[in-house]
């Protein structure tokens, strides 16, 4: 979470610039505010379980980010926490399962489908790559590296897409040719996971 906060802060200008092209120019600043609050919350408290930690992350994001991405990222982390449960550590399979539950939460909340030009288009291929790599016996490091590559490819693939969800969908054809801000921040989340857990 700290590494994701650091990356979001470093890329806040870029995320906001992407959102200024097809949205309302707030994605970087909103997520930076939320992840700064998360990092502060992690400094202030000790957490007894993965579940407690991600509950705090999710609630903090819901309370500070706003817009579409606040509830979506909030739900992602709340679901990751509840799927992980009252444990102190996760093995690779449990991590992959928790992330998958997070994606299902995003889908339940925002109803994104593949190709709608949203964060789903980075997260879903990343988790498919993670699951495939783990079930073929890859190490966590290799599996997360493949997940991060898939997230980056999914992010890049949003550029030619026509937005069908969120604010960008109001632009219709004019949304084509711009990289999705939420897919971009989600690729940073997977990159932070790779950097931190390997």
Closest CA to 91 of 42, 151, 149, 50: 50
Segment contacting ligand ADP (CB under 6 A): 42-50, 54-62, 67-75, 139-147?
67-75
| CB burial of residue 34 (10 Å; 0-12, 13-18, 19+) | buried
Compute the least distance from the CB of residue 23 to Mg ion, in Å.
4
| CB burial of residue 88 (10 Å; 0-12, 13-18, 19+) | exposed
Figure out which of the listed residues 110, 124, 125, 134 binds ligand ADP, where binding follows CB under 6 A: 110
Using CA atoms, how far apart are residues 24 and 46, in angstroms rounded to an integer?
Answer: 36
Compute the least distance from the CB of residue 146 to Mg ion, in Å.
30
Q: In the numeric block, which tokens belong to residue 30?
A: 């909103």
Figure out which of the listed residues 68, 84, 129, 140 binds ligand ADP, where binding follows CB under 6 A: 68
Segment contacting ligand ADP (CB under 6 A): 74-82, 114-122, 138-146, 147-155?
114-122
Residue closer to ligand ADP (CB basis): 140 or 152: 152
Compute the least distance from the CB of residue 164 to ligand ADP, in Å.
9
Figure out which of the listed residues 19, 50, 51, 71 binds ligand ADP, where binding follows CB under 6 A: 19
Q: In the numeric block, which tokens belong to residue 155?
A: 């992010």
Stated as kind and residue range, the H or E segment containing 57 is helix 50-64
Q: In the numeric block, which tokens belong to residue 55?
A: 């509950």
Angle between the N-to-C axes of helices 181-197 and 12-22, in degrees from 0 to 180, rounded to the nearest 10: 160
Size of the site for ligand ADP (CB under 6 A): 23
Site for ligand ADP in 120-139 (CB under 6 A): 120
Size of the site for Mg ion (CB under 5 A): 5
Task: Mention every residue, 6+ apart, whose C-beta is less than 8 A from residue 70.
Answer: 30, 34, 61, 62, 64
Figure out which of the listed residues 8, 23, 53, 140 binds Mg ion, where binding follows CB under 5 A: 23
Task: Check binding of 19 to Mg ion (CB under 5 A).
Answer: yes
Task: Check binding of 27 to ligand ADP (CB under 6 A).
Answer: yes
Interface contacts to ligand ADP, rule CB under 6 A: 19, 23-24, 26-27, 30, 67-69, 72, 110-112, 118-120, 165-167, 180-183
């Amino acid at each position: 979470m700290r590494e994701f906060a650091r990356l979001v802060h470093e890329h806040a200008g870029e995320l906001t610039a992407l959102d200024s092209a097809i949205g309302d120019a707030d994605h970087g600043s909103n997520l930076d505010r939320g992840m700064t609050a998360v990092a502060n919350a992690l400094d202030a408290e000790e957490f007894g379980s993965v579940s407690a930690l991600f509950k705090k992350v999710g609630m903090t994001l819901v309370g500070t980010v706003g817009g579409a991405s606040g509830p979506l990222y909030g739900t992602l982390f709340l679901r990751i926490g509840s799927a992980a449960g009252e444990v102190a550590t996760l093995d690779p399979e449990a991590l992959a399962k928790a992330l998958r539950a997070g994606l299902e939460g995003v889908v339940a909340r925002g109803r994104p489908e593949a190709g709608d030009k949203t964060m789903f288009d980075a997260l879903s291929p990343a988790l498919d790559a993670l699951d495939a790599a783990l079930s073929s016996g890859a190490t966590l490091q290799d599996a997360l590296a493949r997940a991060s590559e898939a997230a980056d490819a999914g992010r890049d693939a949003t550029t030619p897409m026509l937005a069908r969800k969120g604010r960008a969908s109001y632009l219709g054809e004019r949304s084509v040719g711009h990289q999705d801000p939420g897919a971009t921040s989600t690729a940073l989340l997977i990159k932070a996971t790779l950097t931190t857990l390997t």
